Structure 1
Amino acid sequence: LSSLVLPPAAARSTYHLAWELGKKLRSCLSESEFSDSEALCAAIAGLCHDLGHGPFSHLWESLLKSCGIDYHHEAMSVQVFQSIVTDIASRQDQESMEFSAFMDRCWRPNWTHKQLVCDLIRGGPGGDSERIPPEKQFLFEVVNNKRTGYDVDKLDYMNRDALSLGLPNRFDATRQLSLLRVLPCPGNRKLLVLRDKQVLDYINLLISRRMQHYLAYQHVKSVAFEKVLQDALSAARRHLQAHRDDPDVNRLAIRYLLDEPESLESLLWLTDDRLVELLKQSCGPEAARLMKQLEERRKYCHLASVRVALHSTADDEATAVYKNQLEAVKKAVTHWNASRSRSIAELRKFDYGCGPQHPLDGVFCYSKNGEVRQCNGDGDSESLLFADLQLAALHITVVRLYERTAGEPPADAAAVKEFRRREVADFREKMSACGFKPTAE
């Protein structure tokens, strides 16, 4: 019951927050503006939006992409949801038939409730936000907001993870949701609009999110462990490919790690434990060695980091320079990793959830008298002071250099020290050519 004293202490699910926001908006809008059916579809999307995460959650998506496999958990979530709906439709009990009838009901011309839930998970029709009806734009901002990144999913994991990690968090999701309104904005669009006195809390949320990424999700040591697992999967795939015709090779490993790791069947079968066991027992000595190293918490050695930042005061020319630096460093990192076997360069980005653009661009707020304005005013228009007070670097790109070590004391310490010195010097020289500067982590 601590949430009665400290409301942020209660970790709420995305489904719950989507349902609470839906109820709040229903009390403020007419049935034609926002119906009970739309509120229910938003809640279902909140419940199902992360079903497409594989073993180790977001990391699985990165692991597959490192193997050249195009995998997106949102698209997979849609597949899982559609599979569930199909399964329910085959049942004959009353509740299943009512649910199926609701899913098949028409929302708009050529647009059923089932299709609406799928599009809410994607963040727009087929992932295309341009096709969203202007008067229903706000509906697609509840679960997966492609426009500003502010949605109930972010509110949920920010509160939950800050509590679990022991990080400071004074953000009250319930209060934020209670003050959101749907109001007309430029472009004849109806959007979710913040109360002006909420904006400072919103900025604090953005800052907390970036800190959680740096201190937890993309911590320099966390990434070092991720690289071990990535190398284990790569070694496993090489082994399975080389021994595909060997009758003693585990056929499940070939199916789920080599032939179709991005399939719905793989997602439903693979768990954290099953993936670990396959890599340890069925994918060759190199993958087994790396998994043993991971289990014993022997990570790769971090040697150096470089960074470049885009600041909130940057003009168009500075922004263009920054984007060119990013393109150059991507090529440099790719070349480095293709030409080195003992070290690996890893590119990471830290922003406010909307890439290099200003996090308040496109965010609107309303005043006590109902006036709507953009939080980050352009030109001579009035903007809020909070942004200049707290938002500095909009986007930071960091490249980290790791040595592929066994995590044990080297036999020849002097030789290893000399190798690391030369490797770091070479790394910094190549990254400097892209405009990146050394940084401490």
Structure 2
Amino acid sequence: MAAALEHRLVRAASCKLLQKTPSRVRSGSGSVRRSPSVALLSPFALAVWTFSSPLAQDGPLHQGSNPRPHRCQCQASQVYRYARSTQLFSLPKKSNHQGRRQFQRLRNIKQLGTSYYVWPGASHNRFEHCLGVACLARKLLTAIRSRQPELGLTDRDVDLVEIAGLCHDLGHGPWSHVWDAMFMPSVLPDRPWKHEEGSEMMFDFLVKDNNIDIEDADVKLIKDLIAGERRHCDPSEKQFLFDIVANKKNGLDVDKFDYFLRDSRAIGEEIKISLSLLFSSARVIDNEICYDVKHCNLIYEIYNTRFRLHKLVYNHKTAKAIEYMIIDALKLAQNEGGMKIAERVFDPESMCTLTDELMSLIEYMSITDPKLKPAADMFQRIKQRKLYKQVDFKTIQWAERQLFEQNVTREKIVEAAKLNYNKHMDDRKYGTDKADDKEEGFELEDPENLEVDDVIISLSPMHYGMGPENPVDHVKFYSRQSLNQSRSAQLGDYSILMPPFFGEISLRVYTKKPEYYYNVQAGYRAVVQELREKQGQEVRSDLSVPTPPLTPLAPTTGPRSSSGGLRRTASASLNENPWTTVKAGFQPPGTPSPKKRKASVGEEDAPEAKRRS
């Protein structure tokens, strides 16, 4: 009775139909429990209160033919409307996990990781994201269930998919993907670990630690739904359920739908994706979720949005630099500091306290433990914006990644940087150096102390969702004329203006020591020059735009890739980037002035030799 009363109060407040709410609500046991004035709470605070209130957990949640309370439609922006719908009402009793410590830790893990240092407004966390994914999972499956009752979807199916959406990120470590994709492989290369595995481990621990009464078959299905593939669950489970939270067929899942909208709004560049329109056309054909072909352009824009966010936000040059600094700080704490923080991911009890607050913990412990001082100093550099510097950047073709990984290495860059310095000193000694090549007021730094570990080569794949392929080719569509037949959309069915490539590699070169900025850039370019000569490439240094011909050119023809784009026979990836070129001796602003280098033997005579020549 108390739970039903509270649901009515929350519903009325969110719809702005309630002007005053008693501050005291009587529970079913007769005791009086105080609750805040619902009418004065913001929708988000109202949602948190509903989740944390003991009243929301009392009484049966399934009454009569309506298994869940009616969801009111609040008048708000799209990003928060669906999130509020989830938060306003309690989840099914078996999925009431959001108050557990295994789930609450996600409040302290930022969704965007290090991108928060570039966009301070993007402070949302994994807790909010998981609530949104759970909401969208229920909305999508409920929409399919209402239109296709012949599928036999049950309340159990809907509830378990919602739980999978709620718990799919339980295994994320500090700073999200920085932990599992970068830190863990660097310190424990022989013990592979992914956050999906951590989510399954934490879900098992959540069930055991809180004595949750749930069938073993349900647990297996939830973990397979999180993984996005059938592994341990009963073979009779519906196949299309595995494409809702983590879709490995084409990447269209509610996880991405939520963070596309949530992240773009947080950075101030809100995108518009009509999920209600997309969900209204979702239909299961041959055990696969298909969409109306008239929404093909909308789906293409979703994939394009993914590429834009990865290129402009998730792989921002400053965010990447901070990622590498955090990794170095964690490695210092792991090895020199003796904290052994990487091993904590294998202990669910210890994992409950492993969040972004690890930075503050290391800084606090460094006060009494000098072994942690280097790690704490690295964190201070991040806060003071004394970051690693990007010295060069290039976008390379997808197929050339292996070529660069094998031939453009840190060892070769350091070796080339030292050879370039020696050549520069020889030219200066004999008066053959070019004055125009040296930045005025700077002295070329001796890279004698430049080490391999001071150079970073970042190769980040950027794509629309399916690597170098057009992801729309992996989506099945239907038409109103044939509701039970699905097929792939062809290029002319939705557009012919397609990019020639759907994937690329972003190559960035960083230096940890800004005084070696020019040295590292010169070394990198020398290595690429050698590779270019080896590959028989020619440098195009002329950036002038050719005059258009008086008569139009014939349409370009040539071999096409599987995605419909023209294959390029020559690559510009090995050419130098003219926009990042600096003069010899350049150092970024704020770099400490290099110490006066003592002239080598015979160097004093260089000006006189140059005058005589």
Moved more, 65-74 or 396-405: 65-74
Bigger CA radius of gyration = 2
Match of 1:179 in 2: 281
Query: Alpha-carbon deviations, 1:290-327, whole Å to 9, x = none?
Result: 111012122111011222235xxxxxxxxxxx2xx322
The counterpart of 2:482, out of the listed 370, 374, 379, is 370
Give, in angstroms, the shift of residue 237 of structure 1: 2.6
The counterpart of 2:373, out of the listed 285, 288, 303, is 285
Counterpart contact for 2:161–2:222, Cα < 8 Å:
yes
The counterpart of 2:179, out of the listed 26, 46, 60, is 60
Is 1:271 the counterpart of 2:362? The answer is no
Match of 1:249 in 2: none
Shift of the 392–265 alpha-carbon distance from structure 1 to 2, 3 Å rule, reads: farther
User: Following the alignment from structure 1 to structure 2, what is the Cα–Cα distance between the partners of residues 274 and 182?
Assistant: 44
Give, in angstroms, the shift of residue 202 of structure 1: 1.0
User: Following the alignment from structure 1 to structure 2, what is the Cα–Cα distance between the partners of residues 196 and 278?
Assistant: 53
Shift of the 417–162 alpha-carbon distance from structure 1 to 2, 3 Å rule, reads: closer
The counterpart of 1:233, out of the listed 330, 345, 363, is 330
Counterpart contact for 1:336–1:344, Cα < 8 Å:
no
Give, in angstroms, the shift of residue 418 of structure 1: 4.5
Counterpart contact for 1:52–1:74, Cα < 8 Å:
yes
SS at match of 1:213: helix
Counterpart contact for 1:232–1:279, Cα < 8 Å:
no
Shift of the 76–421 alpha-carbon distance from structure 1 to 2, 3 Å rule, reads: closer
Shift of the 417–34 alpha-carbon distance from structure 1 to 2, 3 Å rule, reads: closer
Give, in angstroms, the shift of residue 229 of structure 1: 1.0
Shift of the 402–35 alpha-carbon distance from structure 1 to 2, 3 Å rule, reads: same
Is 1:304 the counterpart of 2:409? The answer is no
User: Following the alignment from structure 2 to structure 1, what is the Cα–Cα distance between the partners of residues 383 and 412?
Assistant: 25
Is 1:360 the counterpart of 2:460? The answer is no
TM-score, normalization by structure 1: 0.77
Unaligned runs of 5+ in 2: 1-14, 16-72, 84-131, 415-451, 536-570, 581-613
SS at match of 2:239: helix
Shift of the 266–298 alpha-carbon distance from structure 1 to 2, 3 Å rule, reads: farther
Query: Alpha-carbon deviations, 1:221-242, whole Å to 9, x = none?
Result: 11011111111122223314xx
Give, in angstroms, the shift of residue 341 of structure 1: 2.5
Which is helix-richer, 1 or 2? 1
User: Following the alignment from structure 1 to structure 2, what is the Cα–Cα distance between the partners of residues 23 and 163?
Assistant: 26
Counterpart contact for 2:410–2:455, Cα < 8 Å:
no
Give, in angstroms, the shift of residue 431 of structure 1: 6.5
Give, in angstroms, the shift of residue 272 of structure 1: 1.0
Moved more, 162-171 or 230-239: 230-239
User: Following the alignment from structure 2 to structure 1, what is the Cα–Cα distance between the partners of residues 531 and 361?
Assistant: 38
Is 1:142 the counterpart of 2:247? The answer is no
Question: In the TM superposition, what are the counterparts of 1:337-348 in structure 2 within 5 Å?
Answer: 340-348=452-460
The counterpart of 1:327, out of the listed 387, 402, 407, is 402
Match of 2:92 in 1: none
Give, in angstroms, the shift of residue 400 of structure 1: 0.6
State the one-letter code of the partner of 2:300.
Answer: I
Moved more, 331-340 or 134-143: 331-340
User: Following the alignment from structure 1 to structure 2, what is the Cα–Cα distance between the partners of residues 132 and 337?
Assistant: 53
Query: Alpha-carbon deviations, 1:123-171, whole Å to 9, x = none?
Result: 11349xxx99698331100000011111000000001011111124111
Counterpart contact for 1:303–1:403, Cα < 8 Å:
yes
Q: CA RMSD in A?
A: 3.0
Query: Alpha-carbon deviations, 1:323-356, whole Å to 9, x = none?
Result: xx32233334666499723211111010012222
TM-score, normalization by structure 2: 0.56
Match of 1:224 in 2: 321
Counterpart contact for 1:8–1:173, Cα < 8 Å:
no
Greater relative contact order structure (CA < 8 Å, 6+ sep): 1
State the one-letter code of the partner of 1:64.
Answer: M
Question: In the TM superposition, what are the counterparts of 1:34-433 in structure 2 within 5 Å?
Answer: 34-61=153-180, 62-67=182-187, 68=189, 69-89=191-211, 96=212, 100-101=213-214, 103-104=215-216, 112-126=217-231, 136-184=238-286, 190-240=287-337, 253-254=339-340, 256-257=341-342, 259-278=343-362, 281=366, 282=369, 283-310=371-398, 322=399, 325-332=400-407, 336=411, 340-371=452-483, 372-377=485-490, 384-386=493-495, 388-405=496-513, 410=515, 416=516, 418-429=518-529, 432=532
User: Following the alignment from structure 1 to structure 2, what is the Cα–Cα distance between the partners of residues 7 and 148?
Assistant: 24
Give, in angstroms, the shift of residue 375 of structure 1: 3.5
Shift of the 199–114 alpha-carbon distance from structure 1 to 2, 3 Å rule, reads: same
Match of 1:109 in 2: none
Match of 1:187 in 2: none
State the one-letter code of the partner of 1:7.
Answer: Q
User: Following the alignment from structure 1 to structure 2, what is the Cα–Cα distance between the partners of residues 327 and 348?
Assistant: 12
Give, in angstroms, the shift of residue 430 of structure 1: 6.2
SS at match of 2:210: helix
Give, in angstroms, the shift of residue 122 of structure 1: 0.6
Shift of the 234–301 alpha-carbon distance from structure 1 to 2, 3 Å rule, reads: same
Which is strand-richer, 1 or 2? 1
User: Following the alignment from structure 1 to structure 2, what is the Cα–Cα distance between the partners of residues 9 and 274?
Assistant: 29
Shift of the 132–199 alpha-carbon distance from structure 1 to 2, 3 Å rule, reads: farther
State the one-letter code of the partner of 1:124.
Answer: E
Give, in angstroms, the shift of residue 362 of structure 1: 2.1
Counterpart contact for 1:49–1:121, Cα < 8 Å:
yes
Aligned residues: 377
User: Following the alignment from structure 1 to structure 2, what is the Cα–Cα distance between the partners of residues 427 and 338?
Assistant: 6
SS at match of 1:348: strand
User: Following the alignment from structure 2 to structure 1, what is the Cα–Cα distance between the partners of residues 218 and 269?
Assistant: 39
